[in-house]
Chains A and B, each alone.
Chain A
Amino acid sequence: MKYTEGAEIRDTKAPDGPIEERWEKRKFSAKLVNPANKRKLQVIVVGTGLAGGSAAATLGELGYNVKSFCYQDSPRRAHSIAAQGGINAAKNYRGDGDSIYRLFYDTVKGGDFRARESNVYRLAQVSVNIIDQAVAQGVPFAREYGGLLDTRSFGGAQVSRTFYARGQTGQQLLLGAYQALERQVAAGTVEMFTRHEMLELIVSDGRARGIIVRDMVTGEIERHMADAVVLATGGYGNVFYLSTNAKGCNTTAIWRAHEQGAYFANPCYTQIHPTCIPVSGEYQSKLTLMSESLRNDGRVWVPVAAGDTRAPGDIPEAERDYYLERIYPAFGNLVPRDIASRAAKNVCDEGRGVGPGGLGVYLDFRDAINRLGRDAVEKKYGNLFEMYERITGEDPYTQPMRIYPAVHYTMGGLWVDYDLQSTIPGLFVIGEANFSDHGANRLGASALMQGLADGYFVLPTTIGDYLANGPYGEVDEEVVAEAEIKVRTKIDKLLSVNGTRTPDSFHRELGRIMWEYCGMERTEESLRKALELIPSLREEFWRDVKVSGTAEELNQVLEKAGRVADFFDLAELMCLDALVRTESCGGHFRAESQDADGEALRDDEHFAHVSAWEHTPEGPVLHKEPLEYEYVKMSQRSYK
């Protein structure tokens, strides 16, 4: 796949000056919309996860007219609901040395120096308000006997700053945002469109002015216009078919925006989560995550000898290799995700993996149960253990869990500036859908933080600035009609192929290509291979896919086919991005770039930049946004 290099991105609109003051400064410089005018302004928010839900609710509270969209039957079901472990905040309620600065530092370092300092600092600042907001909404965080909030430590951090609600933190936070959203629906400021899928962005006069959606129940194609559009459509991990994402997670919304001119940044940065339940068969439809909080008390090991097939209980202590504790004595089982994942892959590659196919390592609670007692372990992790047992039919209290890495989160996404605005004016992108704050690797419990920071606090301020500079005039009817025709044409095409393979079978095959050649470890060769395979599979898709039913009804096959079609295009860009970035960093591990110990080796001289891809008819154009570090000194990440 050919690409060209375009102009560098120099300005991200972040104010200058001391980093602590930048957000204050931006807030002050942002223009305000007269309250009376807010009612006349229409904002579209696509997505009702932590990011979209909180944004739509807050914009409604501020008095804007909001239209909120999601593909599920209720906004409460957005995939944020599945987050288990917790949410970070620099509250320092423990007095264990945490601070805004430390959270900022940990996040920049955790992201392997591929995130923007200004954004990350703001995130750390705002994190504090998120907890206050959530508690006031009635989010039932875990508490201690004194009635104060409990916290725990999470991968990649040595302080205890993760707030949690048993193993259902995402659920509780999302329900908080959902309830705030429904309150606005009742108040009439937000109009909710469930079971509506965004299929196209309307760009008129260079500005995002609306979307084309399909009512998934009736099949009607609808146009919705607005003064600004916010995308909060989550991650695209499902490009791998098997991932911890919900079945409906897709790239359609952001890919459409990308095709309309929004840059796509760092598509190749994918997070592989170390603690998932291993695959058990061909028919498997998704992978289930076990919260990494389990690594607080569980010990990861494999047999010392390759090919050891004894039952775990029969392997004596001396013949177990607690490899994380061995290789990374300072962080032990709590090393960041990318490191833990790759270590697991390495031991499995050495033939020391356990379970079917040798694709698994043990996560053992024996010592924790002996030390704390079964009850204490059950209190902390009961629901996770139950979930494990339900899926595998094995009892983790008596037998170590088997875990294996799985695709979990995508750090890449649409490029946005400090205001969370994409390269299309009026198109804002928040939550996992943008690329902004995590660099090449996201620390545990930081996505919830980012989604809510964007939705409750950042976007409502910055979008006001954009809207205050309006109005932006009439929308070009022609453009709208064109967008609609594009959508209809694609639907008709999908329905008319009438081939012999289901969309799912294509998706599965695409996923296998991506996992094999653009997964945990990437090489020039593997990526070139993927770049050959993907286009030919896509060609076959458009020639041989079978979509049953019609467009005028609830048609889940059609929905699926549309999403898979977009995944093909995205997959190609991901592989290209991975190919161009010849360094290893965070979640992107190029086998060619490693140090003597097999650790990821960054190449700061050539790659200390964000890769922002522009879509053009002539092919992708790469724009680099240089990353400068004024506060955190770039260093080789070490967790030893």
Chain B
Amino acid sequence: MNLTLKAWRQSGPKDSGRMVTYQAKDVSPDMSFLEMLDVVNEQLILAGDDPIAFDHDCREGICGMCGMVINGVAHGEQRATTTCQLHMRHFEDGATVTIEPWRAAPFPVVKDLVVDRSAFDRIIQAGGFVSVPAGSAPDAHSLPVRKEDADDAFDAATCIGCGACVAACPNGSASLFTAAKITHLSLLPQGQPERIARAKSMVDQMDAEGFGGCTNTGECTAVCPKGIPLDTIARMNSDYLKANAK
């Protein structure tokens, strides 16, 4: 199949960027989206052009490194799928595909489709952990955890930190990401001692990074490759309120 690509090109943070059109020829439907870009890039390199820079690593949907807005949808239109797991069989021959980076002030563009997501790390630094130095832990069975809680905590913990939620949110809010971590830890007994303080500091950090506020539009969960549910945001809000009631 053949495709017309309209990709965002931006040489660096200071450049203002523009959409550039490329033709992708002889694309196999078994290729992943990134493999398709690999092929385009190989041609660009040989032509002496700058290949389209994009982040990726594991290529199996777990590291959270890849991510681009494809035809207006973060990670593309296939639900619960990262860009690297999106396959060309879902596109039509002859289609035009627009490719843009995550767009949010706290995620400045580094180059082309590569953005800086270190704001997420700083949100975790603000409290997304349980304070247990190595070697100080009690026996793992000393604290049973209800299976349902463990399962729900796991569901929240599967967030891969890709940032699609921010990219899709009309407010540029990082609520789903932040809430996923807060929920993961607040559902487990191990997370209780720091629970309230954690919610406050993480939410405050999220604001300080310049993300927007959540108005519960649900775009985030719809594009989230791990299907992190909106309940997590309710849980975060509830913990945040408790923190402020203190």
Give the chain B neighbours of A147 by CB distance below 8 A. Answer: 144-147, 150
Is B134 a contact of A132 with CB atoms below 8 Å?
no
With A182-B124, A391-B85, A460-B134 already in contact, the answer to whether A74 and B46 are too (CB < 8 A) is no
Mask of B1-19 contacts with A, CB within 8 angstroms, 1/0: 0000000000110000000
Q: Does B129 count as interface, using CB distance less than 8 angstroms?
A: yes
Q: Are A135 and B137 in contact (CB under 8 A)?
A: yes
The contact of B154 among A172, A247, A505, by CB within 8 Å, is A172
A79 touches B57 (CB 8 A): yes
Residues of A within 8 A of B151 (CB): 140, 143
- With A175-B157, A283-B39, A460-B134 as given contacts, are A82 and B45 in contact (CB-CB < 8 Å)? no
Other-chain residue from B11, B32, B141 in contact with A285 (beta carbon distance below 8 A): B32
With A58-B133, A182-B128 as contacts: A557 and B111 at CB distance below 8 Å:
no
Q: Which residues of chain B come closer than 8 Å to A72, judged between CB atoms?
A: 57, 63, 65
Q: A81: which B residues are within 8 A, CB to CB?
A: 58, 62-64, 160
Interface residue A288 (Cβ < 8 Å from any Cβ of B): yes
CA of A557 to CA of B49, assembled, Å: 11
Kindly list chain A residues whose C-beta atoms are within 8 Å of the C-beta of B46. 500, 502, 546
Q: Does B234 contact A (CB under 8 A)?
A: no
Q: Which of B49, B114, B140 contacts A91 (CB 8 A)?
A: B140
A57:B118 contact, CB within 8 angstroms? no
Q: Which residue of B lies closest to A172 (CB)?
A: B157
Q: Contact between B31 and A73 (Cβ–Cβ < 8 Å)?
A: no
Q: Which of B124, B132, B145, B154 contacts A137 (CB 8 A)?
A: B132
CA distance A281 to B144 in the complex (A): 48
Annotate A280-296 by CB proximity to B: 1 below 8 A, 0 otherwise. Answer: 11011110110000000
Q: In the complex the two chains form, is A502's CB within 8 Å of B45's CB? A: yes
* Chain B residues with CB below 8 A from A387, complex form: 60-61, 85
Known contacts A57-B134, A73-B116, A393-B89; A140 and B59 CB within 8 A of each other: no
- Given A135-B190, A393-B87; A283-B35 close (CB under 8 Å): yes
Docked-complex contact A285 and B62, CB < 8 angstroms: no
Residues on B with beta carbons closer than 8 Å to the beta carbon of A144: 147
Question: Is the C-beta of B184 less than 8 angstroms from some C-beta in chain A?
Answer: yes
Q: Which residues of A contact B136 (CB under 8 A)?
A: 136
| Cβ-based interface call for B191 (8 A) | yes
- Decide yes or no whether B34 CB sits under 8 A from chain A: yes
Cβ distance B17 to chain A, nearest Cβ, rounded Å: 14
Contact count A vs B, C-beta below 8 Å: 218
The answer to the question of A198 belonging to the interface, with a C-beta cut-off of 8 Å to chain B, is: no
A183 to B185, CA, bound (A): 14
Q: Is the CB of B135 within 8 A of A456?
A: yes
Known: A72-B57, A138-B191, A387-B85. A185 touches B125 (CB 8 A): yes
Indicate if the CB atoms of B124 and A285 lie closer than 8 Å: no
A36 contacts the other chain (Cβ, under 8 Å)?
A: no
Determine whether B232 belongs to the interface, using a CB cutoff of 8 Å to chain A: no
CB neighbours of B124 from chain A (8 A): 178-179, 182
Given A74-B118, A194-B118, A283-B31, A138–B38 Cβ distance below 8 Å? Answer: no
Chain A: CB-nearest residue to B133: A61
- Contact across chains for A390 and B85 when beta carbons are under 8 A apart: yes
Residues of B within 8 A of A183 (CB): 125, 129, 131
Closest A residue by C-beta to B144? A147
| B231 contacts across to A, CB distance below 8 A | none
Count of chain B residues with Cβ under 8 Å from any Cβ of A? 77
> Hey, what's the 0/1 contact readout for A180-224 against B, CB within 8 Å counting as 1?
101101100000101000000000000000000000010000000
> Of residues 99 to 152 in B, which have CB atoms within 8 Å of A's CB atoms?
110-111, 114, 116-118, 120-121, 124-126, 128-141, 143-147, 150-151
B42, CB-defined interface residue at 8 Å: yes
Contacting pair B45 A548 (CB below 8 A): yes
Please tell me if the beta carbons of B130 and A179 are within 8 angstroms of each other in the complex.
yes
Q: Contact: B153 with A140, CB < 8 Å?
A: yes
The residue from A133, A137, A175, A549 contacting B50, defined by CB atoms under 8 A apart: A549
Chain A neighbourhood of B65, CB < 8 A: 72-73, 77
B62 touches A548 (CB 8 A): no
Inter-subunit contact B130/A281 (CB<8 Å): no
Q: Are A138 and B63 in contact (CB under 8 A)?
A: no
A142 interface residue, CB < 8 Å from B? yes
| Shortest Cβ distance from A456 into B: residue | B134
Contact between chains at A140 and B63 (CB < 8 Å): no
Minimum CB–CB distance from B196 to chain A (whole Å) comes to 16
Q: How far is the CB of A110 from chain B (nearest CB, A)?
A: 24
Report, as a range, how many residues of chain A touch the other chain: 35 or more
- Please tell me if the beta carbons of A182 and B190 are within 8 angstroms of each other in the complex: no
Closest to B29 in A: A393
Asked if A148 lies at the interface with its beta carbon under 8 angstroms from chain B, I say yes
The segment from A163-171, A363-371, A606-614, A621-629 found at the interface with B is: A163-171
Report the bound CA distance from A192 to B118 in whole Å: 11
Q: Is A82 in contact with B63, judged by CB distance below 8 angstroms?
A: yes
Nearest-neighbour CB distance to chain A for B49, whole angstroms, equals 7
Whether the Cβ atoms of A505 and B190 lie closer than 8 Å is no
Is the beta-carbon distance between B31 and A281 smaller than 8 angstroms? yes
The reply to whether B111 and A285 form a contact with Cβ atoms under 8 Å apart is no
CB distance B144 to A146 under 8 Å?
A: yes
Q: Given the known inter-chain contacts A76-B64, A147-B145, A182-B125, please indicate yes or no for A553 contacting B184, CB distance below 8 A.
A: no
A556 near B53: Cβ-Cβ < 8 Å: yes
The answer to whether the Cβ of A44 comes within 8 Å of any Cβ in the partner chain is no
Q: Counting CB contacts under 8 A, is B21 at the interface?
A: no
B114–A554 CB distance below 8 A: yes
Shortest beta-carbon distance from B209 to chain A in Å:
14
A135 to B132, CA, bound (A): 10
- Which residues of A, 458-491, contact B by the 8 Å Cβ criterion? 460
With a cutoff of 8 Å between Cβ atoms, the chain A residues found around residue B30 in the complex are 280-281, 393
**A328 interface residue per 8 A CB criterion:** no
Question: CA separation between A165 and B150, bound complex, in Å?
Answer: 10
- Selected A-B contacts with CB under 8 Å, 8 pairs: A77-B65, A82-B60, A136-B132, A137-B132, A140-B153, A149-B141, A171-B158, A246-B57
B: residues with CB less than 8 A from A are: 11-12, 28, 30-32, 34-35, 38-39, 42, 44-46, 48-51, 53, 55-65, 81, 85, 87, 89, 110-111, 114, 116-118, 120-121, 124-126, 128-141, 143-147, 150-151, 153-154, 157-158, 160-161, 184-185, 188, 190-191
